[in-house]
Amino acid sequence: MKLQEFQAKSILLKYGIQIPKGRVAISPEEARKIAEELKKPVAMKAQVLVGGRGKVGGIKFAEFPKDVKKVVSSLLGASLDGFPVRKVLVEEKLDILKELFVSVTLDRGARKVLVLASRTGGVDVETIVERFPEKLIKYPIDIRTGLREFEGRVIAKKLGFSGEQCIAIGNIIKKLSDIYFDLDAELVEINPLVLSKSNELCAADAKIIIDDNALFRHQDLVKEFGPEASELSDEERLAKEQDLIYVELDGNIGVIGNGAGLVMATLDLVSQFGGKPANFLDLGGGTSTEVVIRALKFIHSKPNVKVILINVFAGITRCDEVARGIVTAIKEYNIQKPITVRLTGTNEAEGKKILEENKTPFFDSMFEAAKKAVSVAKELNELKKGHDKKIFAL
C-alpha cells in the first residue's frame, strides 16, 4: 500500500519528525484559506502517487494567498501521468539551506534492510547517485535489534555532520527505522530532508510503502488511508470494478490472456516482433464466457487499441467457453477491430470450430498469433499515414 505524501507526513509527525505547516485542500477556496492562515509563501503539491511531480508541473509556489486560488484551480482536476489530481497539499514554503536524502528500504539482492543516505537530495537524487555512487551511504540494519541510536549518529557523521546537527539527523534516521519495522514497510523515505537557514530539520517530502501482505496487522491504516492509497489510473480502476486484472500501457495492440505469466510472455512477443502492447489484461483461471465478453468490450473501447490479440492456454479454462465469449462480444458490441486468437488446451477442437464457423482467425502458435497482430497493426498504421498525406495534399 503506497501512501500519498500528506499521509506519509502524518506518520512522520506522530514519530516526532518535523514537517512543514499546512494541510490538504480539495477546492481552490479552501487552499486560499490555508495560505491565509499560514501567512507566508506556500508550496502547492498535487497529491498523486507519481514520482518527480516537480518535473511534470505537480508542484507550484505562490508568494501571496490571492495567487493560490488560481494555481490550485489549475492543479485540481488535472492529470499527472494518467492520475487525476483530487487533492492539493498547501504548506509553508521552506527556507532551504541544504537538502539531504534519507531512506530505509529492503535490498532484495543483498537480503538486507538498508539505510540509504546522501548529502545530496531533491528531484535529481537518482541521477546524481548513479553518476557519483560514492555519494550514497549504505548502512545495513540488524533486523533483530533495528537501528540503534548510536548507529543513526554514525550515519550522520558519515554524511559529514557533527555536534548537535549530527545528533538531530541521527535521531531522524533512527525514527525512520522505527517506522519501517513498526509498519512492516517496504520503503520509508524523506527526500529531501531540508536543513533550513534557521538550522532546523524538516521533511519536505515523504514516501511510505507498506507491505500488502502485512496489512492485516495494520487495519487502522487500511481504514484511514486504504481508499486513496492506490496507483490505479481511472481506466485501471474501472477495470478492477469489472473484476478484470488490467494494467494500462502506451501501445496499440490490446492483449488479453489467461494467467499473468502467459500475458507477460505475450507482451514480450509483441515487443520482439516490433509491436507495442496497449495493455496487460489477465482473465484469470477458470474463465467464463461472461468474463471474456467483459474483457473484449473493455479493450475494444480503448481508442488507442487498433488490433486485439487473445492468447489462451486452457487448463481449468475451457476453449469453447472462451470462443463463445469472443463470438458473442463481436456480435453484441459490433466489434470492428481486427482480432487475432491463439487457443489451445481443454476443449480446443470445440473452441476452434466455434471460431471457424464465425470466421474469426485463430492460430495454434502464440508466436504466429503475435506476429500476425503486429503485422496487422503496422498495416493499419501505414494506411493511416497514407490517408493523412492524402488529406494534407487536398
In CATH terms, the fold of domain 1-20+95-231 is D-amino Acid Aminotransferase; Chain A, domain 1 (3.30.470)
Which ranges of the chain does DSSP label H, i.e. alpha helix? 5-14, 28-38, 65-75, 125-131, 149-158, 163-182, 219-225, 234-241, 260-272, 289-300, 319-332, 348-357, 366-393
The mean pLDDT value for 235-252 works out to 84
Task: List where CATH 3.30.470.20 sits in the chain.
Answer: 1-20+95-231
Q: What is the pLDDT of residue 394?
A: 37
Q: What are phi and psi of 329, to 5 degrees?
A: -60, -45
CATH 3.30.1490.20 fits 21-93, yes or no: yes
Q: What is the pLDDT of residue 232?
A: 61
Q: How far is CA 152 from the centre of its chain?
A: 31
User: Does residue 231 have a pLDDT over 60?
Assistant: no
- Cβ(374)–Cβ(253) below 8 Å: yes
What Cα–Cα distance (Å) separates residue 338 from each residue in 44, 202, 274?
A: 46, 56, 18
- Cβ(139)–Cβ(117) below 8 Å: yes
The mean pLDDT value for 362-379 works out to 96
pTM of the model: 0.66
CATH 3.40.50.261 fits 234-390, yes or no: yes
Model confidence pLDDT, tens digit, residues 313-323:
999 899 999 99
User: How far, in Å, CA of 114 to CA of 95, rounded?
Assistant: 30
Task: List where CATH 3.30.1490.20 sits in the chain.
Answer: 21-93
**pLDDT band at residue 393 using 50, 70 and 90 as cut-offs:** very low
Cell numbers linked to 309 = 490479440
Model confidence pLDDT, tens digit, residues 300-310:
999 999 999 99
Task: List where CATH 3.40.50.261 sits in the chain.
Answer: 234-390
DSSP state letters, 90-133: EEEPP-EEEEEEEEEEEETTTTEEEEEEES--STTHHHHHHH-G
User: Does residue 127 have a pLDDT over 90?
Assistant: no
User: How far, in Å, CA of 340 to CA of 368, rounded?
Assistant: 10
Q: What are phi and psi of 14, to 5 degrees?
A: -60, -30
Could you tell me which of 274, 255, 275 has the C-alpha nearest to residue 266? Answer: 255
Beta-bridge mates of residue 59: 45
